[in-house]
Structure 1
Amino acid sequence: MAPGGFQGFTCELADAARGSLVLESSKWLGIGTFKTASPGYLTLMHLGTDGLGRQPNKPVAVKRMYVRRAMPTEANPNGWAINRLTAPDEYRKTLMEANILLWADSIMDLTYSFIHHFIENSAQPPPLEIPKVCFVRAGVAVVHRQITGPVTASTSTLCRTYLIEELINEQKDGFYKFMNNGSAVPLPSMNESVSALAEFLSFTQHVQYHKTKALIYLSDLQGTLKLSTDPQIMTAP
């Protein structure tokens, strides 16, 4: 827990798990509005029993924050380039993204608790199978540089910060956009399973908005039929 009672990723160096991250920086899994994603391989010095560090050379999605810098050309007047953030800003914004995933997971747990409670107190079982959706397991990788000269109290070794996520196999499981930020209406799809899940996720938004007393709900929902990534937490419809 961080100062002030905040619960979430804080990345205290003393509590960090040490390891290595091999990044295939020349390959892209995708480029979003705020983050790039590349394939990588994670190995922790002490393998964990849960999460991403259970095996060496674990394939992962390595995401890094960026801002768009305008770079117009004659051929493309709307051209732009990737501009990386300063180390402190990148660290702060990556932790924010990690905490969104953490809280999204808790909000979805709240949703399923509501559903299961309703089913347990109903005389009849539901007329359809309830989809089971969860968010990717994730962590924050902080890269520090080695200092060879004099060290002072103000010396910072922070170099880069990455958001490490469970890798989604798009070729095997597909990748779909179910809901965006601008509307509670599910996005249309020719795939019956995708449409059914999109409608279910729209229903979960209503549950979240109701159970949190109109405070928050999850949006920008995307991923496979079982695994979601890159959610947003909305505070107003």
Structure 2
Amino acid sequence: MALTRCVTSEVIIGKSTNVCLKRCFSCSSSGGVTTLPADRQYQELSQELNCMLWTKVMLDMVYDFVAKEDAVRGAKPSFVIPQLRFVDAALVVAMCKGREELYMMEELISTEVGWPFRKYICNNSAQPLLTKSTSAHASEKNNYAQFLSFAQHIQYIGTGNLAFTSDFQGAGQSLTDPQIITAP
């Protein structure tokens, strides 16, 4: 998937005028890159958007679980629960030289939060990716990764052992490009 950074004249999605546009492409064995035809763009980008929407629902499920447990116990936990969210996204049809082109638009994740874009959990392992760094945000990054590992457990149980989110990545409190695992 190709990514293009753009700036819009007004807020279209999320809270920022900084967005990225995504398109799907294929690579040949000779190293050439070809943009997929419109029907395949629609198929691939719709699938990615659908995944993004479901992961938002599944993350809400985790925060609902935490709120219910807080109410049952009559107290909040002694540790900080990070308030994370997936970026807003939409399919966009643009007219270019008299023909329609399909893109997935997402709010661009700012790295101005003090740490770079990073993976918290890969989709090939449920193990949180903890940093050994002593940087200013290292502890917070590790807290995010451990919380997201916890989230996977709540999602798996909450969906009747059917699914959980993986491939958690982002910067600050913003997450993007998740995967939903249905056959662990």
Q: TM-score range by the shorter chain?
A: 0.7 to 0.9
- Which has the higher Rg, Structure 1 or Structure 2? 1
Residues 103-182 of structure 1 correspond to what in structure 2 (within 5 A)? Answer: 103-144=54-95, 159-173=100-114, 174-182=116-124
* C-alpha displacement of 1:135: 0.5
Change (3 A) 1:104 1:67: same
| 1:100/1:231 contact within 8 Å kept | yes
* C-alpha displacement of 1:54: 7.1
* Structure 1 match to 2:164: 217
Q: Provide the identity percentage.
A: 31
Question: 1:123 & 1:102 partners in 2: Cα distance?
Answer: 32
Structure 2: state its 5+ residue gaps: none
Question: 1:222 & 1:53 partners in 2: Cα distance?
Answer: 18
Question: 2:117 & 2:97 partners in 1: Cα distance?
Answer: 39
| 1:40/1:62 contact within 8 Å kept | yes
Residues 44-59 of structure 1 correspond to what in structure 2 (within 5 A)? Answer: 52=13, 58-59=17-18
Structure 1: state its 5+ residue gaps: 1-34, 72-79, 148-156
2:128 to 186, 192, 216: 186
* C-alpha displacement of 1:164: 0.6
Change (3 A) 1:54 1:132: closer
Question: 1:40 & 1:225 partners in 2: Cα distance?
Answer: 20
* Structure 1 match to 2:148: 201
* C-alpha displacement of 1:202: 0.3
* Structure 2 match to 1:64: 23
1:92 to 40, 43, 50: 43
* C-alpha displacement of 1:96: 1.3
Change (3 A) 1:41 1:123: closer
| 2:14/2:88 contact within 8 Å kept | no
CA RMSD after TM alignment: 2.1
Deviates more, 1:208-217 or 1:80-89: 80-89
Describe the SS at the equivalent of 2:65. Answer: helix
Change (3 A) 1:142 1:192: same
Describe the SS at the equivalent of 1:142. Answer: strand
Question: 2:32 & 2:96 partners in 1: Cα distance?
Answer: 26
Deviation sequence 1:94-115 (CA, Å, 0-9, x none): 1111111111111111111011
The one-letter code of the counterpart of 1:61 is C
The one-letter code of the counterpart of 1:198 is A
- The TM-score normalised by the length of structure 1 is 0.69
Question: 1:199 & 1:172 partners in 2: Cα distance?
Answer: 19
The one-letter code of the counterpart of 2:175 is S
Change (3 A) 1:144 1:116: same
- The TM-score normalised by the length of structure 2 is 0.87
The structure with higher relative contact order (CA 8 Å, sep 6+) is 2
The one-letter code of the counterpart of 2:21 is V
* Structure 1 match to 2:176: 229
Number of aligned positions between the proteins: 178
